[in-house]
Chains A and B, each alone.
Chain A
């Protein structure tokens, strides 16, 4: 069991194992097979960062390079899903969703509902998100709140290689459309991943760390930042519980609420913009349903309400940091009624 692979390899393995298991699983998108100037079929690029490398010759006819037209191939994926296939379409950067949004939110997301439950749409859109690689405003956004907002879609946001493989397998087997967010900075991170296929259920948060003083809910890349912050805070005697929801739709509200019942304090760390995001959503839920347990106001640590800057200095200032998380936790821990019972 103890085999370490990267987040990227975990995603590739999930795709390969599901294609092996189920002949209706097909993969398509821009450059997912070869890509321009690839040296040959066997060592074709397999996507802009090589995530789908090796699938093309292993599953002939089932890994398709598409024209650069997201509206065409995402629409094709929705249609293929409605008529019997399990397509996994790759939207290279989630920032490009604007050109194919109708296919996603007005078509795929609505089929099951508008056809009285008689249609299913087992499609997955894999997409890269997040700041941190100097790719500027149009290739760095954290747009999962937009998809989370839309009923009929499911949204996964793996933070570790283990979660990436298990959530992608679950996404492919799911009969509803799933938007699968891969943080580009996490692709090289390593972790223990079983070789055998396994499905990680949606709506089951991961309790990353147990603690009694402050609940820190963190998403995606922010999970490891929260872990670092928790270690630093331990020296000050502040014991953080870290919860990674893993999927934002469905959202495991119970685990978050139960944790806040114990700690009475909440910090939500979210790389997305501050307005109408997961941080405000989770903070509002907790304020409504666990108000009596709260000893201090919930705090949100997010990016500022600006486009992602291209300047390295500004980009680093844009993304929440271990220090900004630590500061928010300290402020929460020091505010309101004393935490000692």
Chain B
């Protein structure tokens, strides 16, 4: 037993988050919680998520109530052992509320995306973390670096994390040349060169997984480990309805049903998410870039590039994560992994486990990287 009192704070998901609304508590006051237990649901402008307990103990106080809007870092609840007197908890809450100052508005502190010019064009990226082995995160078709909003901060304690916008996406150039997988992996390699990164842990989601795997096969010396999340390239099936629907949608009412295919729980698709994707899709050159990439990298009714059979050639640690409810690529594609790969299939999650089950996903990835890092060390 200890007399330690821990704060359960409002997390920060993504650069623009300044506050969140408590949707519901998932744990009763007085209940025991373990590290990583889901304790509260929180809604932000962009996305809904679950707050996990940072420590083990008893949820002694629910300070925020459902419906309350709490700034990032603000007090949601208090966790402590059973023998800490109530008076101490009261004093902790009182002192916290009296001294807490919400962080300044967006852009004042914290990392901001940067851009770098390479042969493939302008690439935008977000660097987080001060030291440790570098990790590069590659989003999927139509995504951008913000898709890693739950992932990058979790990894940044132990690593230098680069989330990249692939060509044609986010803040990167919209000219995608041939738009084939060689062009895309070439752009990533040029990015590594420009940042002076010799060898990195690669994490790719969906089409980004295909790019990561292809880069690992083309330049194995640059890859310390490979993580594929609901990846393209591991089977033939692809949801062509999604690809076409995403490319063609010009309006909210057309885009929303397409985006809902990305998650097992469609309520994760908020108005803000739809608006953000529409803002991206309206930019000159995006539609053409998406069509080119869909045609030459992904394929619309049948996947164009297969890497499953060659993954066995790789001499690097391989992690594969999939949601069993994936409606873009069937989770069965995970079975194509070579025998020595670590495979995790998540129940009740769809095509975006890194967003839908961020806590579980981060734990799987962190423990994989811990062993992969040890193996990769010279």
Contacts and interface: CB of A to CB of B under 8 A. Distances in A.
B271 interface: yes
A337 B174 CA distance: 52
B251 A201 contact: yes
B130 interface: no
A199 B107 CA distance: 27
Interface string B246-289: 00001111000000000000000001000000010011110000
A198 B271 contact: no
A313 B283 CA distance: 44
A1 B282 CA distance: 13
A281 interface: no
A84 interface: no
A139 to B, nearest CB: 34
Nearest to A196: B283
Given A2-B16, A210-B271, A197 B283 contact: yes
Given A1-B171, A196-B284, A207-B271, A201 B250 contact: yes
A198 B284 contact: yes
B251 A199 contact: no
A207 B283 contact: no
A41 interface: no
A34 B102 CA distance: 48
A204 interface: yes
A194 interface: yes
A199 B170 CA distance: 16
B193 interface: no
Interface in B290-340: none
Contacts of A162: 279
Contacts of B271: 207, 210
A2 B107 contact: yes
Contact of B283 (A2, A198, A254): A198
B174 A196 contact: yes
A166 B271 CA distance: 19
Contacts of A5: none
A197 B284 contact: yes
Nearest to A258: B253
Nearest to B107: A2
A200 interface: yes
B158 to A, nearest CB: 28
B106 interface: yes
Contacts of B253: 254
Interface residues of A, number: 16
Given A1-B171, A207-B271, A200 B282 contact: yes
A200 B271 CA distance: 17
Nearest to A200: B282
Give the size category of B's interface with A.
10 to 19
A166 B279 CA distance: 10
A212 B174 CA distance: 39
A207 B252 CA distance: 10
Contacts of A204: 250-252
Nearest to B124: A1
B279 A194 contact: yes
Nearest to A17: B284
Contacts of A166: 282
Interface in A21-48: none
B232 to A, nearest CB: 26
A162 B107 CA distance: 19
A156 B107 CA distance: 32
Interface in A245-297: 254-255
A228 B350 CA distance: 38
Contacts of A196: 174, 283-285
Contacts of A194: 279, 283
Interface string B107-128: 1000000000000000000000
B188 to A, nearest CB: 21
Residue from B170, B252, B253, B282 having most chain A Cβ neighbours under 10 A: B282
Contacts of B279: 1, 162, 194, 198
Nearest to A207: B271
A250 B358 CA distance: 42
Contacts of B107: 2
Contacts of A198: 279, 282-284
Nearest to A195: B171
A204 B252 CA distance: 8
Contacts of B170: 1
A3 to B, nearest CB: 10
A207 to B, nearest CB: 6
Residue from B16, B170, B252 having most chain A Cβ neighbours under 10 A: B252
Interface in B133-175: 170-171, 174
B235 to A, nearest CB: 34
A50 B176 CA distance: 37
A59 B158 CA distance: 52
A227 B199 CA distance: 50
Interface in A197-237: 197-201, 204, 207, 210
A149 B170 CA distance: 40
Contacts of A200: 282
B285 to A, nearest CB: 8
B245 to A, nearest CB: 17
A231 B110 CA distance: 29
A197 B106 CA distance: 24
Interface in A175-204: 194, 196-201, 204
Contacts of B250: 201, 204
Nearest to A21: B284
7 contacts: A1-B170, A1-B279, A197-B284, A198-B284, A201-B282, A204-B252, A210-B271
Sort A-B residue pairs by CB-CB distance and give the 3 closest, nearest first.
A198-B282, A198-B283, A197-B284
Given A1-B171, A1-B279, A204-B251, 6 more contacts: A2-B16, A197-B284, A198-B283, A198-B284, A207-B252, A207-B271
